[in-house]
Amino acid sequence: GESVGLHLPTLSVQEGDNSIINCAYSNSASDYFIWYKQESGKGPQFIIDIRSNMDKRQGQRVTVLLNKTVKHLSLQIAATQPGDSAVYFCAEAINQAGTALIFGKGTTLSVSS
Amino acid sequence: EPEVTQTPSHQVTQMGQEVILRCVPISNHLYFYWYRQILGQKVEFLVSFYNNEISEKSEIFDDQFSVERPDGSNFTLKIRSTKLEDSAMYFCASSEQRALYEQYFGPGTRLTVT
């Protein structure tokens, strides 16, 4: 079965809007979560991560929220730009060096001007 | 900024042939990984490697697959006898030796098995 998944395969927003991409995970043992961005023809690019002892973490224009009660992870992108158009994956791992990342299926974000 | 590099960018091979995909991880990283992504699907873990040994592998990583660090900079994935279903993007990643880590991914090698 799938350990990590995303609620919506696609999300279309207007430039300047805020975007919210959601992810559900099922492995209670996972304690490290990461969001990756993948542009066409490229490898996954790290965006932001969060440990299980936190419920919110902010970066530049991005915020990750973690709700361990319902095993839900979200990525918020503020003032979405056309350059944000990509596939976004959440991934989970057990907090240990060298551990495999388990990826979800991905949400394609399309930003129109 | 240091980055993971992979060669070739695209490899076409016939079914049954052996292929070697090459990666140069970030120089001070000590953990290395291979993932694959079948077109339109999620990224799947294959194997992790540390201190010249496999640390962890998935059920995808069967006897047809092997990894090697032949020298101080390269990390390779070998598929002994390719199958049609091995067609995918193969990503190499590396991370530092620390408990909380970022895995940095290379641009990938597109493997097409005909």
Q: Which domains can be identified in chain A, with CATH numbers?
A: 4-112 (2.60.40.10)
Model confidence at B100: pLDDT above 60:
no
Q: Which residues contact B59 (CB under 8 A, 6 or more apart)?
A: none
* A27-41, A66-80, B78-92: segment of lowest average pLDDT: A27-41
Contact B112/A at CB under 8 A: no
Question: Residue A104 in contact with residue A4, Cβ under 8 Å?
Answer: yes
Torsion-angle region of residue B107: left (phi > 0), alpha (psi -120 to 50) or beta?
alpha
Alpha-carbon distances of B102 from A49, A64, B48, B59, rounded to whole Å: 8, 16, 14, 23
Check residue A96 and give its pLDDT: 74
Question: Residue A110 in contact with residue A21, Cβ under 8 Å?
Answer: no
What would the pLDDT profile of B50-84 be if each residue is shown by its tens digit?
999 999 999 999 999 999 998 888 999 999 999 99
Between chains, do B105 and A34 touch, taking CB under 8 Å as contact?
Answer: no
Check residue A2 and give its pLDDT: 40
Q: Which residue of B has its CA nearest to A91?
A: B43
Q: Which residue of A has its CA nearest to B48?
A: A98
Q: Which domains can be identified in chain B, with CATH numbers?
A: 17-98 (2.60.40.10)
Q: Which is nearest to A72 in space by CA: A86, A95, A56?
A: A56
- Encode chain B in three state secondary structure: CCCCEEECCEEEECCCCCEEEEEECCCCCCEEEEEEECCCCCEEEEEEEECCEEEEECCCCCCCEEEECCCCCCEEEEECCCCHHHCEEEEEEEECCCCCCCCEECCCEEEEEC
How far is Cα A9 from Cα A74, in angstroms, rounded to an integer?
14
Model confidence at B31: pLDDT above 60:
yes
pLDDT tier at A4, thresholds 50, 70, 90: low
Between chains, do A105 and B41 touch, taking CB under 8 Å as contact?
Answer: yes
Q: State which amino acid sits at residue A43.
A: G
Between chains, do B91 and A43 touch, taking CB under 8 Å as contact?
Answer: yes
- B93–chain A nearest CA distance, Å: 9
Q: Is the dihedral of CA B13, A37, B56, B31 positive or negative?
A: positive
- Identify the residue among A31, A99, A102 best suited for mutation to test binding to B, counting B beta carbons within 10 A and taking the highest: A99
- For residue A99, what is the DSSP state? P
The residue whose two tokens read 């395969």 is: A9
The residue whose two tokens read 């791992």 is: A93
